[in-house]
Amino acid sequence: MSPKPKPGVLDIAPYVGGRACVAGVAAPVKLSSNESALGPSPLALAAYAQAAKGVGIYPEGSAQILREAIGATYGLDASRIVCGNGSDELLHLLALAYLRPGDEVMFTKHAFLVYRIATLASSAVPVEVPEKNLRADVDAMLARVTEKTRLVYLANPNNPTGSYLPHDEVRRLHAGLKPETLLVIDAAYAEYVRCNDYEPGIEMVASFPNVVMTRTFSKVYALAGLRIGWAYCPAAVADVLNRVRGPFNVSVPSQCAGAAALKDRGHVERSVAHNEHWRAWLTDAIRAAGLRADDSVGNFVLIHFPQTKGRTAADADRFLCEHGLILRPVGNYDLPDCLRLTVGDEDANRKVAAVLGEFMARP
């Protein structure tokens, strides 16, 4: 007999990130992980290098450097900010702290895979709700609420679909939940959204005791390798997370890099402007090639391929890889006929558009 994990753990399909290499290709272009096209701020890199000189000393345990920088940037109470080893850690910690065996956790059909993983790791029950036109369907979600609904994960915007819920719809969803149900708004791509009816969740956290917003430094700030995330919480939830998180879960160099990145507003604005221009350009180019590209508010585009032999998503993936381009197959998101394309730099964007055009033009 060997030790057995608790119920749910062996039902987890391990998370697999975007590929970074292709056999036989020396220097492929990676467009599979929604990384920033412009890279990190020079200020962030300099701050990281300076802080690295002190890595022999333990960090202050609460990530005070970073929490205070986030609080100053967004006008938030730093005591209600909890930082983590990426926002993934915080999503897991919320499940760890609030879920009991048999509790139900709701999320939409094509939402971030970590929601299911965190649910099953806590021996809770995942409740996957169908989307409507690849967008969260509030009516369908409210229809699935039960007495066992303990936590709701809402990716807003959602990856890999690129869709979002307007603020009024998020409020309507919240209004249909019990006070003891926690609504977790995962706003990893919030900085890219330029829509008047969008709000990342700060207002709702300030207004309700059962709403948490999570954010990341991996996307627009381009610090994915440092694994920095944060949550803005009601005071009681922040207290709970601080009881269960690791005491030194964000390194000092990472904190300093994140704090410096927040100050470089010019770099953020350039990154967002680049994304706005090239996301639209890629969407038009993909459609001109005869493929469906969904509107997106993130730094990526979801491309739909026909089921015709020689034109499928798997065929396209092989063809793109042969040309040194790595996109993200999303069959594990129940989108087997799609590839997700990260907005890259100009050269990468022009190359992927040309190769997709060549792929569709083949006899």
- pLDDT, one tens digit per residue, over 129-178 is 999 999 999 999 999 999 999 999 999 999 999 999 999 999 999 999 99
Supply the pLDDT for residue 338.
98
Domain match, 236 and 96 both: yes
159 within domain boundaries:
yes
> Which residue type, as a one-letter code, is found at position 74?
Y
Supply the pLDDT for residue 6.
92
Which residue in the block uniquely carries the two structure tokens 């997106």?
296
Predicted confidence (pLDDT) at residue 287 exceeds the cutoff of 90: yes
Predicted confidence (pLDDT) at residue 80 exceeds the cutoff of 90: yes
pLDDT band at 20 (very low <50, low <70, confident <90, very high): confident
Domain match, 225 and 82 both: yes
Supply the pLDDT for residue 296.
98
Which residue in the block uniquely carries the two structure tokens 């967004």?
74
> What is the three-state SS of 261-277?
HHHCHHHHHHHHHHHHH
Cα separation, 84 vs 65, in Å, equals 13
Q: What length does the chain have?
A: 363
Predicted confidence (pLDDT) at residue 24 exceeds the cutoff of 90: no
Domain match, 243 and 336 both: no
Domain match, 168 and 114 both: yes
Give 81-139 pLDDT, tens digit per residue: 999 999 999 999 999 999 999 999 999 999 999 999 999 999 999 999 999 999 999 99
The residues with which 127 forms a beta bridge, in sequence order, are 106
Q: What is the CATH number of the domain that holds 218?
A: 3.40.640.10
Domain match, 111 and 257 both: yes
Which residue in the block uniquely carries the two structure tokens 């964007």?
349
Domain match, 241 and 353 both: no
Task: Give the 3-state secondary structure percentages of the chain, helix then strand then coil, rounded to 5.
Answer: 40, 15, 40
Query: 3-class SS at 167?
Result: helix
Predicted confidence (pLDDT) at residue 23 exceeds the cutoff of 90: no
Q: Which residues contact 290 (CB under 8 A, 6 or more apart)?
A: 360
Cα separation, 267 vs 298, in Å, equals 17
Give 176-190 pLDDT, tens digit per residue: 999 999 999 999 999
Q: Which of 190, 194, 244, 236 is nearest to 214 (CA)?
A: 190
Neighbours of 344 (CB within 10 A): 22
Supply the pLDDT for residue 22.
87
Give 292-311 pLDDT, tens digit per residue: 999 999 999 999 999 999 99
1 within domain boundaries:
no
Supply the pLDDT for residue 280.
98
Mean of all residue pLDDT scores within the chain: 97
Of 263, 291, 320, which residue is a domain's last? Answer: 263
Domain match, 86 and 227 both: yes
% residues pLDDT > 70 (the chain): 100
pTM of the model: 0.96
Task: State which residues form the domain around 242.
Answer: 42-263
Cα separation, 344 vs 299, in Å, equals 9
Structure-token pair, residue 335: 């989108």
Predicted confidence (pLDDT) at residue 26 exceeds the cutoff of 90: no
